[in-house]
Amino acid sequence: MTIFNFGSNNVNFSVSIDENIDNWLIVKDEKYRPDRGVFVLEKFKDDFPEIIVDSIDRVYSLCSRSSALNEWLAKVNLSYALIQNEPTFYRDKIEASRYNLVNEELLKNNSILSNKAKEELELAADYRSKMDKIKLKYSKIEYKSKEARVISMNTTELPLTLQLAIENYTPASDDSPNRRSYARELLINYKLSLLNVIKENPEVNIDIIIKDSYVK
């Protein structure tokens, strides 16, 4: 099935796609090299089996909401960059004498992109480390009580299960609370639960409880 025709300056070509999806080149290629979205989604399911997600968009949304997932995503992207190779179906369009040169250039570029990903990961890790130091510094000043620490929390510190609940929330009607209101309601109830923990066990290390809950 032809979907695009081009003709200009003595150059003519068309773009066609097989009507049978099973014959698509990308479908065949994915049997041995998944795209980035598939790779990240499968990795998320392996690393967080208790968190049920239905799409890669949901994973990316969770990563944008949760500070705990930022470093995880950076590492997964680096892993993908290291295994990424150019699909072999281009070989038929390039003379064998040239393909080795082309392949060398592709490998060189992949190496450059891999180094770029490594530097980005190092920068992200350094940023996270500095942010943790800043958070620790001001936690000593601002949170003299466990209760103040809890009440000062924002939605980025919610557990993944609650983050997913926010992502999946759909107002039942026009009069129903929107997603932002739903997120605030969950956050408030989460804080109340933590305050109950503190009330029942005044010696508890609430920071450890919060941190351990991030990926639950």
Q: Name the token pair of 127.
A: 């940023």
Is residue 73 situated within a structural domain? yes
Q: Which residues pair with 7 in a beta bridge?
A: 12
Is residue 106 situated within a structural domain? yes
- Picking from 32, 50, 48, the residue whose alpha carbon sits closest to that of residue 87 is 32
Is residue 201 situated within a structural domain? yes
Is residue 94 situated within a structural domain? yes
Cα 105 versus chain centre, distance: 29
Is residue 131 situated within a structural domain? no
Is residue 18 situated within a structural domain? no
Q: What is the mean pLDDT of residues 131-159?
A: 79
Is residue 70 situated within a structural domain? yes
Do 106 and 38 share a structural domain? Answer: yes
- For 133, other C-beta atoms within 10 Å of its C-beta total 10
Is residue 27 situated within a structural domain? no
Do 118 and 52 share a structural domain? Answer: yes
pTM, full prediction = 0.46
Round to whole Å and give the CA distance between 132 and 129: 5
Range of the domain at 160: 144-213
Average model confidence (pLDDT) across the chain:
78
The percentage of residues in the chain with a pLDDT greater than 70, rounded to a whole number, is 79
What is the domain count for the chain?
2
pLDDT digits (tens, 9 = 90+) for 15-65: 677 777 676 666 655 555 567 888 888 889 989 888 888 888 888 888 888
Do 208 and 163 share a structural domain? Answer: yes
Do 120 and 37 share a structural domain? Answer: yes
How would residue 142 be classed by pLDDT, with cut points 50, 70 and 90? low
